[in-house]
Amino acid sequence: MEKGGNGKAFEPGRETEVDPVAVVAANCRHATARLPRGRLGAATAEKVARGLAAAVSRRLPDITGSPTEVFAALVGRQVLGEMPCPRVRGPALRLLAQVTPLVASNGSRRWNLWLETALDPRSDIFSKVRSSTPCLRDSAEAEERRGPALFEERETLYARLADAVTLQRSISELTRERDRLRADLLASRHELRAIYRRIRDEIDPFSPEPSTLESAWRIIEKNIRRLTKAMEDESDPRMRP
């Protein structure tokens, strides 16, 4: 764990900033949930854990002393509102020591509350606090698992983008080909019309009745209009299913 100039920690190999205050507060909340209910000192231990979670941003100094001295310091720093009765002070600290590394016994009925030390990202206490807080540990593990998944997702998106570009190029080429064919069809229509008129004038220029040639031309005209309309419908998005 490396420490930045702003007092926040950076995990080795990552650029993720870790806020020690948030880490310690999360550990206090986790400790509160883990405390056994109904045990001697449990209610007092819960008050201490909740008080520390709310007061950690004040960066209180470490506390060392007997149970009475520890609780007197907590009351003096407004973590607790009042002194608990003597019979629950020791049991409350023992229960806290079981659920958080912030509280530890140093023997001879003396206790340490690592408040300032726990906020130092370089300290062993901070490492213990972080590793004993499941939500933080699970978040770090999830981030590690997410890395390969993000890479795979990115590659999939790149492949889809390449397919979309290829499809767009194909559509553009087909559109150009369709327009060329439409122009050729219209040009052929005009040429056929001109040929028909020339032949009609040569063969039967004054006949009042439609000739066989005229009937044939009408069939040709009908088919040309049908093909032209089909091409126009194909180019109109509103006509597509």
Per-residue pLDDT of the chain (241 residues; tens, 9 = 90+): 444 444 545 444 444 467 888 888 888 888 888 888 889 999 999 999 988 888 888 888 999 999 999 999 999 999 898 999 999 999 999 999 999 999 999 877 899 999 899 999 899 999 888 888 876 544 444 445 555 666 677 777 877 888 888 888 888 888 888 888 878 777 777 777 777 677 666 666 555 455 566 666 677 777 777 776 766 666 555 544 5
Q: What are the φ/ψ torsions at residue 100 (nearest 5 degrees)?
A: -150, 140
- Measured CA to CA, the distance from residue 45 to residue 74 in angstroms comes to 12
Ordered by start, the domain boundaries in the chain are 2-132, 148-239
Alpha-carbon separation of residue 89 from 29, 99, 107, 110 (angstroms): 20, 16, 15, 12
Which pTM does this prediction carry? 0.51
Find how far residue 66's CA is from the centre of its chain. Answer: 48
* DSSP assignment of 29-83: HHHHHHSPTTSTTHHHHHHHHHHHHHHGGG-PPPEEE-HHHHHHHHHHTTSSSSP
